[in-house]
Amino acid sequence: MSLLIRGGTVVTADQSRRADVYCEDGLIKAVGEGLEAPTGAQVIDAGGQYVMPGGIDPHTHMELPFMGTVASESFFTGTAAGFAGGNTTIIDFVIPDPGQKLMDAYRAWRGWSEKAAGDYSFHVAVTWWDESVHADMGTLVREEGVNSFKHFMAYKNAIMATDEIMYQSFQRALELGAIVTCHAENGELVYQLQKDLVARGILGPEGHPLSRPAAVEGEAAHRAIRFAEVIGVPVYLVHTSTKDALDAISAARRQGQRVFGEVLAGHLLIDDSVYRSPDWEFAAGHVMSPPFREKHHQAALWKGLQSGDLQTTATDHCCFCAEQKAMGRDDFTKIPNGTAGVEDRMAVLWTHGVNTGRLTPEEFVAVTSANAAKIFNIYPRKGTIAVGADADIVVWDPEATKTISAKTHHQNIDFNIFEGMPVKGLASHTVSNGKVVWANGQLNAVQGAGRYVKRPAFQSMFGALGKLNAARTPQAVARPAMAAE
Ligand code: URQ
Ligand code: ZN
Ligand code: ZN
């Protein structure tokens, strides 16, 4: 299977240049001007278009069992929908129930994900603690290619990681050379605010943002960063939605702490007015956590992305259809939390990022692909256009336009948070593992063609950090000589 992508402008996180790209057996074999197509090779004419690394969405939840139901998007339909938007790899989440062995949950998710059309990997959530969790984290890093462990600081009485669990897990992650990631909302505050709102009869979706004010995220972001600082482990904050959390990230990074921040395409463009719509389904369709925020947070998040204090963009693709959202018809705390985005992220970011001048094409590649590959240690296999890299490529037509709608999207959900949004800049072709899976509006996704992507631990970087950290433990600190009595 050989493919020549001819006449385009190759864009990586580092540079743009006129070049052809030749792929064979799922890998990029040559990048340069004037490449010839061997007999039988498929040829894509990329004239006037950009040739970029396929998107990496580092935050999805395909067919997630959550809040009494299961997300409507499967690993097959979700990775296929991603192809239609130029996305070629997802990093999803194994989320054990408290008390469930991590390895049992991991095996279950690996079973579900075999149907994926595109490549996938897993963060594993630590939702409880005992010696088996300690042991399973070691097995996951050493044998299964997991190098990131998730901590939900929200969702009390469900999957919330207490401070004690976070401490144990952060320590273990450091030992193993893994990175910790956090959903930073104070779960106790959310729980108490939800109870108060329901008691006052505020039961509609308008109650959702009221139970999760910006300070609830700001406190948890600060706490997660401090835990990571004391323990000496790198930390990645998922779906940063407020200036409060961004300020905590920026301050820590200015002190040289290894802190990374992710922002969702939705949080960059949608504000909290959606929850005050008189249309219950419309408001409930936007219920996700953290919630969409007041407008000034969006402006801050764009600056965070432009400044490099936020390194990645994602979608938190977690789909619940109208009849699932209706589970919370009489009580907003029972509306399954989650929205879609895996198909729209790149077009939305190109339109509101590159076309507005906020981002250069190179920065677009960085925040949609390269940075996630680097942070989660699959670069340069993924996240670039270079000889030897996987042939995961998007041919991007900067002149192509459409209006986003649930009526036409490929995502398995009857709602779209970007409904009616005009976008300019679309994937004309998507290549996954060297095969053309999306071409001029036609999907050619194959169930089960996706591969599980192992992500090696960062023994080198974190190992050094660990030794540094060990030097600070109490017994290693010489006691100052007691002053003479
Ligand atoms: O919290 C998450 O990231 C998962 C449960 C998806 N739902 C959401 O509202 N973000
Ligand atoms: Zn989350
Ligand atoms: Zn999530």
CB-based burial of residue 50 (10 Å sphere; 0-12 exposed, 13-18 middle, 19+ buried)? buried
Whether 484 shows a pLDDT value over 50: the answer reads no
User: What pLDDT, on a 0 to 100 scale, did the predictor assign at position 321?
Assistant: 98
Could you give the dihedral angle defined by the CA atoms of residues 43, 121, 382 and 45, in that order, rounded to the nearest 10 degrees? 20
* pLDDT value, residue 94: 99
Structure tokens at 238: 């998922």
Measured between alpha carbons, how far is 476 from 243 in angstroms, rounded to an integer?
Answer: 38
Please give the average per-residue pLDDT across 213-235, as a whole number: 98
Q: Which ligand is nearest to the CA of 237?
A: 2
pLDDT above 90 (res 386) = yes
288, 292, 325, 332: which to mutate for ligand 1, most atoms within 8 A of CB? 288
**What is the band of 473 on the pLDDT scale with cuts at 50, 70, 90?**
very low
343 close to 369: Cβ distance less than 8 angstroms: no
Q: Over 60: is that where the pLDDT of 477 sits?
A: no
Q: Report which protein residue has its CA nearest ligand 1's atom 4.
A: 338
Confidence at 418, pLDDT banded by 50, 70, 90? very high
- Using the predicted structure, report yes or no on whether residue 460 has a pLDDT greater than 90: no
Atom 10 of ligand 1: nearest residue by CA position = 289
- Is the pLDDT at 485 greater than 50? The verdict is no
Could you tell me the distance, in angstroms and rounded to a whole number, from the CA of residue 58 to the centre of ligand 3?
10
Q: What is the pLDDT of residues 345-382, one digit of tens each?
A: 999 999 999 999 999 999 999 999 999 999 999 999 99
Please name which ligand lies nearest the alpha carbon of 320.
1
Please give all residues whose beta carbon lies within 6 A of any atom in ligand 1, as ranges. Answer: 61, 66, 183, 288-289, 316, 318, 337-338
60-79 residue pLDDT tens: 999 999 999 999 999 999 99
Quick: pLDDT tens for 281-336: 999 999 999 999 999 999 999 999 999 999 999 999 999 999 999 999 999 999 99
Q: Give the nearest ligand 1 atom to 289 CA.
A: 9
Q: How far is the CA of 289 from the centre of ligand 2 (A)?
A: 6
Sequence-distant (≥ 6) Cβ neighbours of residue 95 within 8 angstroms:
64, 66, 105, 125, 127, 150, 152, 159
Residue tagged 């006449």 (tokens): 7
Query: Percentage of residues in the chain with pLDDT exceeding 70?
Result: 94
- Tell me how far the alpha carbon of residue 291 lies from the centroid of ligand 1, in angstroms: 10
- Rounded to the nearest whole angstrom, what is the distance from the C-alpha of residue 455 to the centroid of ligand 1? 23
Q: What's the pLDDT at 468?
A: 52
Q: CA 92 to CA 256: how far, in whole Å?
A: 29
* Res 474: pLDDT: 42
Q: Mean pLDDT throughout 399-407?
A: 98
**Of the ligands numbered here, which is closest to the C-alpha atom of 217?**
2
pLDDT reading at 430 higher than 80: yes
What does pLDDT average to over the chain?
95
Does residue 249 have a pLDDT over 80?
Answer: yes
CA of 394 to the centre of ligand 1 (A): 27
Per the DSSP assignment, residues forming a β-bridge with 121 are 91
Q: Compute the distance from residue 465 Cα to the ligand 1 centre, in Å.
A: 31
Q: Output the CA 318–ligand 1 centroid distance in Å.
A: 7
Nearest CA to ligand 1 atom 1: 289
Domains of the chain (ranges plus CATH)?
Answer: 2-52+381-404+419-443 (2.30.40.10), 55-379+455-477 (3.20.20.140)
- pLDDT tens-place string over residues 99-116: 999 999 999 999 999 999
* Nearest one of 295, 292, 215, 224 to 260, comparing CA atoms: 224
Note the pLDDT of residue 1: 87
Among protein residues, the one with the nearest Cα to ligand 1's atom 7 is: 338
Please name which ligand lies nearest the alpha carbon of 95: 1
Ligand with the closest atom to the CA of 182: 2
* Residue partners of 437: CB distance under 8 A and separation at least 6: 80, 83, 117, 118, 430, 431, 443, 444, 445, 446
187-202 pLDDT tens trace: 999 999 999 999 999 9
Over residues 207-227, the mean pLDDT reads 98
Average pLDDT on 172-198 reads 98
- Ligand 1 pocket test: pick from 94, 122, 183, 319 the residue with the most ligand atoms within 8 Å of its Cβ: 183
Confidence of residue 465 (pLDDT cuts 50, 70, 90): low
464 confidence band (pLDDT: 50, 70, 90): low
Residue 84 or residue 477, greater confidence: 84
Q: What percent of the chain has pLDDT over 90?
A: 94
Say what the pLDDT of residue 467 is. 53
Question: What was the pLDDT predicted at 66?
Answer: 97
The pLDDT tens digits of the residues spanning 251-290 come to 999 999 999 999 999 999 999 999 999 999 999 999 999 9
Nearest-atom index, ligand 1, CA of 287:
9
Q: Ligand 2 centre and the CA of 466: distance in Å? A: 27
Ligand 1 centre distance from Cα of residue 435 (Å): 32
Is the distance from CB of 24 to CB of 32 less than 8 angstroms? no
Element (H, E) at 388: none
pLDDT band at 216 (very low <50, low <70, confident <90, very high): very high
Q: At what angle do helices 163-176 and 214-231 cross, to 10 degrees?
A: 40
